[in-house]
Amino acid sequence: MKRTIKFIIKGKVQGVGFRWSTKNWAEKNNIKGYVQNLSDGSVKIIANITDIKEFIKEINSLNNPFIRIKKINYTLLNYREYKTFSIKI
Active site residues: 19, 37
The Cα–Cα gap between 58 and 68 comes to: 14
The Cα–Cα gap between 71 and 51 comes to: 18
The Cα–Cα gap between 62 and 47 comes to: 16
Instruction: Report yes or no: 57 and 71 within 8 Å, Cβ to Cβ.
Output: no
